[in-house]
Amino acid sequence: MKDNAGVRDRWFCYLLECADGTFYAGISNALDRRLAMHSQGVASKYTRTRLPVKLVYLEPQRDRASASRRELQIKKMSRARKRALTH
């Protein structure tokens, strides 16, 4: 049996740019799966109507709590500050 211990312990905070130019911040411990869900329109109501989306920023976090705190910080940022993160 393959040992996957710790694989799901890695959390990320991510920022997507939507087709209409808006940003969406989220967290996940299964990033590839979550990004695929966004692309299929089944991950969130917000991104579902703004496809396609692309990953423009990614930040690893220690744990879910850290990822959630960072997500909230990013969501509170102005559009200009979010844009600055991507460059």
Domains in the chain: boundaries: 10-85
Q: Is 61 helix (H, G, I), strand (E, B) or coil?
A: strand
pLDDT band for 6, please (50, 70, 90 cuts): low
- What is the arithmetic mean of pLDDT over 13-22? 97
pTM of the model: 0.87
Task: Give the pLDDT score at 42.
Answer: 93
Is pLDDT of 57 > 70? yes
Rg (CA), the chain: 13
CATH 3.40.1440.10 matches 10-85: yes
